[in-house]
Amino acid sequence: MAANNWQRAALVAALGLSVFGARTARAQQPAQVLAEARQQFPGQPAVFLDYRQDVLLELRGDSLVVSARHHRDLLHVAEGTGAYAADRVFSSHFSKLQKIEARTMVPNGTSYRAQKVQQFHEQFEIRPGIFFDDVRATNFTYPNVSPGARTISDYTLKFRDARFLQPFYFATGVPVRHAELTVTAPRAVKLNYKLFGTEGANVQFSKEEKGSTVVYRWVADNLPAPPTDADAPEDAWYLPHVVYFVEEAPLAGKPQRMLSGVPELYTMYRSFVKDLDQPAPAPVLQHLVDSLTAKAATPDDKARNIYHWVQDHVRYIAFEQGMRGFVPHAPAAVYTRRYGDCKDMASLTHGMLQLAGLKSHMAWIGTRDLPYRYSELATPGVDNHMIAVYERPGGELVFLDATDPYNPFGLPTAMIQGKEALIGLDKEHSRVAEVPVVAREQNARTDATKLTLDGTSLRGSGQLALAGYARGRATAALRSADQLTQQRTVRSVLERGSNKFFVDKYTVSGLAEAEKPLTVDYQFHLDDYVQRAGDELYVNLNLERELTNDQIDLARRRLPRANEYCRRSSQQTEFEIPAGYDLSHLPANVQADDAVAGFRISYRREGNKVVQDKEVYVNYLLLEPKQFAAYNKVVGQLSEAYRDALILKRKPL
């Protein structure tokens, strides 16, 4: 959703090593400043000496005017910090760049010599997946950067709307010696705030009344560089930051509630979609809806047909253009153009459901990139996405996000699981509802394989069925692939045992049936897999070893681990005991169950066959550090179970 522009600008400013004159450094000699930084933060390439933002709120006529002065002072500590010489400042429709100055403070004996940046180049920011983006980047390069130099910038942003203030991040990609946010506002303006990720950051807050104004101040000192771990959630989940917002301000001669709760937020959002209440007549769209629902037996069938039509016929293209980031096009316009962003696709889905006589709502929601909930923070920063909500006759809600063309009807897209949706009910009323987390059983990978021995190789045939999100991901890879790409994809999906695995034949079924499992019937051979020792053969039936070697390094990892969706993998493997051999060892049944992961492996003999039933599940979206040990225990037990093999002994002659 294009409304994410102002959120992104704030985070990029915090993380992007933007520009920076520390008060404590001014009285110190360059060599002393550098030595102290190296001692305090050993091994770090750079340190922010000062990281500051001063926000001023002013009442002018009937408006609340907001400006923010940014000051950044970065000390270059190590060799090779030239990568930090290039910098940029972001602005957009919501935050206009007023002025900017930047300079390098070059060590010059016992003081510094200033070298100003002479050239600033403005350009539109181009991001993957965004068709049009009104975010502008002002790029510049600091001269003469080397260890001991300080790169300093000062710039001012003016905000068009006091409801779209940017959060302030205390931490960045390098250590911060001093971070500070001040907000100066008239006494009559009611300001509130919420801290996130500040455990251990020791953020100090103070509030001081000065004449007709109030100064709010947040300070944090001596912050280490934040950790970086693979598969971590987005930065807003763990970087310390403060979200501040105006609850009330005297405008037009009377107090006006701005962002004091969900009702006020919905009032603002409602103004963006009010024109959708009475759309212009669109006979062509009505005819389409009639054709899609004519043979539908139930309301769900009608909703399903409409949802899949939007998925299949409207191309998702993101727009980031000022208020266009909040205001969707009318359903008829989206239908005619056959493309649109999340708001447009929600508008079309919602409009078509209404034309079909179904109860539907527009809804605002934050993806899992954002940690916020409406119950704790009712501001535009909580959400970055829009969807349609179909209300079944019994009142059950079905969350419809057509931006994922392969998502099954009845499941929310993976990126909004567990998040709160702000659902518009009518002109004045809204409802906050939590999107369900899809159970692991619905994201099932089910495999049935029959194996025979061929010397020391295995030959097998089977069928793999994928459901839920697992199906959607595979469909996305296979549906439009050419033959060679499809072969490679199928091999990667089926691969097991070793790199000597070869698919001999396969058939993919169900690509066009979104609510049914995607199936792959296959034949394969696996060379040199069976181990021979004298008159014994060792056959490990654990050809697929999910989660093996997935132990989390408890000494190093500090951040939670994010997972796209909960899942379950079930496999039945049937092995035919070859003639002339008997089974001398059958592995024991073993299982482990935990809230975050678990498995069950069982073996049984049926005549001249051994049947293994195996189930492995992962049951978390966000694995917290306190859960790492339990997860590791399950993985360790599973890895041990994987090592147990059948032992076949040659029968005596």
Per-residue pLDDT, 61: 87
pLDDT band at 28 (very low <50, low <70, confident <90, very high): confident
**Residue 2 predicted with pLDDT over 50:** no
**Residue 203 predicted with pLDDT over 60:** yes
**Tell me: the pLDDT tens digits for 245-258?**
999 999 988 999 99
In this structure, are residues 226 and 239 in contact, taking their beta carbons and an 8 Å threshold?
Answer: yes
**Residue 6 predicted with pLDDT over 60:** no
pLDDT band at 12 (very low <50, low <70, confident <90, very high): very low
Average of per-residue pLDDT across 419-424? 98
Average of per-residue pLDDT across 164-175? 94
Per-residue pLDDT, 92: 85
Per-residue pLDDT, 278: 67
**Residue 22 predicted with pLDDT over 50:** no
Average of per-residue pLDDT across 166-190? 96
Phi, psi of 387, deg, nearest 5: -140, 170
Per-residue pLDDT, 279: 61
Average of per-residue pLDDT across 392-411? 97
Give the other-Cβ count within 10 Å of 601's Cβ. Answer: 22
Average of per-residue pLDDT across 455-461? 95
**Residue 20 predicted with pLDDT over 80:** no
Per-residue pLDDT, 83: 82
CATH architecture of 2-257: Sandwich (2.60)
Could you say which DSSP state residue 163 is in?
T
**Residue 299 predicted with pLDDT over 80:** yes
148 sits in the region (left: phi over 0; alpha: psi -120 to 50; else beta) called left
**Own/partner pairs, 529-532, CB within 8 angstroms, 24+ separation:** 529/456, 529/457, 529/458, 529/497, 529/498, 529/500, 530/453, 530/455, 530/456, 530/457, 530/458, 531/456, 531/645, 532/456
Weakest mean pLDDT among 3-17, 144-158, 339-353, 535-549: 3-17
Average of per-residue pLDDT across 35-63? 96
Average of per-residue pLDDT across 492-501? 89
CATH fold of the domain at 264-434: C8orf32 fold (3.10.620)
pLDDT band at 176 (very low <50, low <70, confident <90, very high): very high
Give Cβ neighbours of residue 542 (< 8 Å, ≥ 6 apart). Answer: 601, 612, 614, 641, 642
In this structure, are residues 441 and 568 in contact, taking their beta carbons and an 8 Å threshold?
Answer: yes
In terms of Cβ atoms closer than 10 Å to its own Cβ (0-12, 13-18, 19+), residue 199 is exposed
d(CA 569, CA 466): 9
Weakest mean pLDDT among 17-31, 275-289, 467-481, 596-610: 17-31
Strands of 540-631, DSSP E: 561-562, 567-576, 581-585, 590-593, 597-606, 609-618, 622-623
Domain ranges of the chain: 2-257, 264-434, 442-650
pLDDT band at 576 (very low <50, low <70, confident <90, very high): very high
Cα angle 28-145-33, degrees, rounded to a multiple of 5: 15
- The helix, strand and coil proportions of the chain, stated in percent and rounded to the nearest 5, come to 25, 40, 35
Average of per-residue pLDDT across 553-557? 97
**Tell me: the pLDDT tens digits for 325-346?**
789 999 999 999 999 999 999 9
The fraction of the chain above a pLDDT of 70, given in percent, is 93
Per-residue pLDDT, 481: 85
CATH number of 442-650: 2.60.120.1130
Weakest mean pLDDT among 12-16, 318-322, 433-437, 463-467: 12-16
* More confidently predicted of 444 and 13: 444
What value does the mean pLDDT of the chain take? Answer: 92
State the helix-helix crossing angle for 468-478 and 483-494, rounded to 10 degrees: 150
Average of per-residue pLDDT across 435-461? 97
In this structure, are residues 389 and 361 in contact, taking their beta carbons and an 8 Å threshold?
Answer: yes
In this structure, are residues 240 and 203 in contact, taking their beta carbons and an 8 Å threshold?
Answer: yes
Could you say which DSSP state residue 335 is in?
H
Per-residue pLDDT, 3: 47
pLDDT band at 1 (very low <50, low <70, confident <90, very high): low
**C-alpha distances out from residue 608 to 141, 581, 582, 605, Å:** 74, 10, 9, 7
